[in-house]
Amino acid sequence: MLKRTLVGLIRSHEATGDKARDPALKTRYYKLQKEKLWDEVVSLLKKLPKYTVLHEVKSVGEIVVSKRTMTGRTQDITLTLLSISPVKSSIDIYSASRGSLGDLGSNYRTILELFKVFDSKLSSYKTDA
């Protein structure tokens, strides 16, 4: 966590992906059709305090959310849902803080928080790839 805070002194964004060095930032895969995963994710996001769903583009699988941090800054979070096969989908997250200073690791923590919510609610559908 200290390393994330130090990196966050200068960096104000974080992203997940298949090639992420940090295992916590790896793309999440679920044995669900994209439409079903979409409905679950949007429903979960709308229930989370501090998060506001701003934009949904189901055709391209993109959900844009904002979050106010404890320091009063705003984070812009983009969730990308992709259909891997007819019965498998993935979620990637990109989170960036508005402003010129680093985020002290808050984008990293936001991504972990979202993945924790999705993983616990969708645990029976989670798969490794």
Could you tell me which of 4, 31, 23 has the C-alpha nearest to residue 123?
A: 31
pLDDT one-digit tens code per residue, 90-110: 999 999 998 877 777 889 999
Handedness of CA 110, 111, 115, 116 (dihedral sign): negative
SS3 28: strand
Number of residues in the chain: 129
Handedness of CA 14, 121, 53, 35 (dihedral sign): positive
pLDDT one-digit tens code per residue, 79-91: 999 999 999 999 9
Q: Residue 1, Cβ neighbours under 10 Å: how many?
A: 8
Query: Taking a C-beta distance cutoff of 8 angstroms, is the pair 98, 107 a contact?
Result: no
Residue-level pLDDT at 70? 78
The single-letter DSSP state of residue 12 is -
Residue-level pLDDT at 9? 58
pLDDT one-digit tens code per residue, 20-64: 999 999 999 999 999 999 999 999 999 999 999 999 999 999 999
Classify the phi-psi angles of 72: left when phi > 0, otherwise alpha if psi is within -120 to 50, otherwise beta. left
Biggest distance spanned by C-alpha atoms of the chain = 42
Residue in the structure block whose two tokens are 């044995």: 31
CA–CA gap between residue 42 and residue 114 (Å, rounded): 12
Residue-level pLDDT at 101? 74
Domains of the chain and any CATH numbers:
2-127 (3.30.530.20)
Structure tokens at 101: 């200073």
